[in-house]
Amino acid sequence: MDNKTSNGPLAGIKVLELGTLIAGPFCARMLAEFGADVIKIEAPDGGDPIRQWRVLKDGTSLWWSVQARNKKSLTLNLKDARGRAIARQLALEADIIIENYRPGVLEKWELGYEQLKLENSALIMVRLSGFGQTGPMKDQPGFGAIGESMGGLRYVSGFPDRPPVRVGVSIGDSVAALHGVIGAMMALRHRDATGGRATPGAPGGQGQMVDVALYEAVFNMMESLVPEYDQAGVVRERTGGALPGIVPSNTYSTGDGENIVIAGNGDAIFKRLMLAIGRIDMAGDAQLARNDGRVARTAEIDAAIGAWCAGQDIDGALAVLKAADVPAGKIYSVRDMMSDPQFLAREMFEQHHFADGTPVKLPAITPKLSATPGRTKWLGPQLGQHNDEVLGELGYDAEAIALLRADGVL
């Protein structure tokens, strides 16, 4: 099916987004990219703060064009009972609600999961928060940086002789968002298997709450940390660019100032790597034939590879390693990505235009589905762009909408 004509695998699924910034909106964004009808509720006085984050065009974040693509923007003052009534009506008609307020906020507005499921037991609510809906820390604010720290990622990131560092993007929020998408899809499958969407006269299937804590989403990525500590007392520490216990796998600098990752940690690969860089002695060293022997001589191996890389430019190094069938890659900046043949062959950039005609490239949608791919139908909307459309579908006429707007509800 052509990407321009596919409605996506989630066509017909109604999603209500209640939240701001990254985790909740990124979760809803992915559903919108694959065809779900996503209505994003924003405060009338400025909307989602991410509209003003990082690099701006005409006062609006360029990030917004991606984070809110395919969503409908409805402004509602949820401090006003009329705004909450509209939100409740939308919530009860939704298949999925995605929210990332602090636990308890939706309950105060009578929009909590337990309150809504009394009227729609088929409802699915994805709740993203710093520490989850239960436990002694549930009421504390928890941004992605805190989740990365508590979940273990920050502790193992950086060099051993320096304080921990952060990844250059909001990885904790994004990982939590992906867990939210996965949870929503599993919950939707269960709902449909037990009766489907609620309709007049039929209660529908079994909905549920998907409780995603940012620190737990990060913790879920931490590989063998727990059993290694439990069984061997090992606390994994920071190792810079190296992959601990798997040698060689590290980052090296080339003579022209570029950086290259070389993963020569397979036994046969290691031998090919050593022959390629002229270290026949290491290629034939019986102690280095297996990973456990190489681990004991990590510094020696890294020094040999580093010295070879320092005498090469990046293109020459990559050519030698490719010929030897050794996994290696340049560390890309966005400038590298946008001219790279692999990115271009995979169509990883989409060309669009802002309302004033200015062209802009966006990242393409992943993952790639062969029959029902995702697509960008429109860029992030203006604040309240879909007020009339959404409210009209709820039965509000022009006069009623004008009154709500005049009273500051919209």
Q: Which positions are annotated as active-site residues?
A: 173
* H-run or E-run covering 176: helix 171-193
CB atoms < 10 A from the CB of 315, how many?
12
What is the DSSP code string of 93-141?
H-SEEEE-SPTTHHHHTT-SHHHHHTT-TT-EEEEEESS-SSSTTTTS-
Q: What angle do CA 185, 191, 197 make, to 5 degrees?
A: 110
Name the nearest CA neighbour of 169 among 69, 30, 27, 63: 63
Chain centroid offset of residue 246 CA: 27
Task: Tell me the two tokens of residue 77.
Answer: 């003052």
Chain centroid offset of residue 191 CA: 25
Q: How many residues does the chain have?
A: 410
Task: Tell me the two tokens of residue 370.
Answer: 């062969």
- For the CA atoms of the chain, what is the radius of gyration? 26
Say which amino acid occupies 29: R
Query: First CA to last CA across the chain, in angstroms?
Result: 39
Contact 184, 96 (CB under 8 A): yes
Contact 283, 275 (CB under 8 A): yes
Contact 23, 175 (CB under 8 A): no
C-alpha 212/C-alpha 174 separation (Å) is 12
Write down the residue that tokens 């990407």 correspond to.
3
